[in-house]
Structure 1
C-alpha cells in the first residue's frame, strides 16, 4: 500500500474564500469594481455582486433608511491599485 491508502484523516479541508489569485475577473466584474470606486451602489444593482462578495472584494453596508449598499473592501481596492486605477 502507498501513503495515500494509509491516510485515515477523513476530515475535509476547511473551505477557503476564493481570492483573485484563483480566478480571473470578468469584464463586468471589473466594471462593477470601477463603479464602486467612485460611489456605493444599490445591493441589487448588478448581477456580478454575489461573485465579488464571495471573493471578498466588496461588502454590504446598511443605509440610513434600511436599504443596503455595496462598497469596496481593502482587497477590492488592492485589485484596482494593481491595475493602476488608484
Structure 2
C-alpha cells in the first residue's frame, strides 16, 4: 500500500508541475518522492554534472487524481 504524502511533498509535486526550476535541488522532499517513483532525475543537456527533477507518469497520475493536473 502506498504511503501518504506529506503536505511538503505534495507542494513539491505541484512546483515540479508548474515550475521545475523553482525546486531547490537539495530539497529533502525530492529524495522521498524519488523513492516513491513520483519524480526522476534527468541530466541537463548543457552541463555534465547538472541534473534536474521531473514528474514521472506516476507523479503526474497523483496530481491528476487530486484534480491539480
Query: Which category describes the TM-score, using the shorter chain as reference length?
Result: 0.7 to 0.9
Corresponding residue to 2:55 among 52, 55, 72: 72
TM-score between the two structures when normalised by the length of structure 2: 0.85
Q: Quote the RMSD (CA, aligned, Å).
A: 1.6
Structure 1 residues 3-82: aligned runs within 5 Å: 21-41=1-21, 44-63=25-44, 64-66=46-48, 67-82=50-65
Higher helix share: 2
Please say if residues 52 and 58 of structure 1, whose CA atoms lie closer than 8 Å, have aligned partners that are also in contact.
Answer: yes
Q: Which has the larger radius of gyration?
A: 1
Unpaired stretches in structure 2, ≥5 consecutive residues: none
Using CA pairs under 8 Å that are at least 6 residues apart, name the structure with larger relative contact order, 1 or 2.
2
TM-score between the two structures when normalised by the length of structure 1: 0.69
**Across the two proteins, how many residue pairs are aligned to each other?**
66
Unpaired stretches in structure 1, ≥5 consecutive residues: 1-20
Q: In 1, Cα distance between the equivalents of 2:24 and 2:12?
A: 12
Q: In 2, Cα distance between the equivalents of 1:81 and 1:45?
A: 26
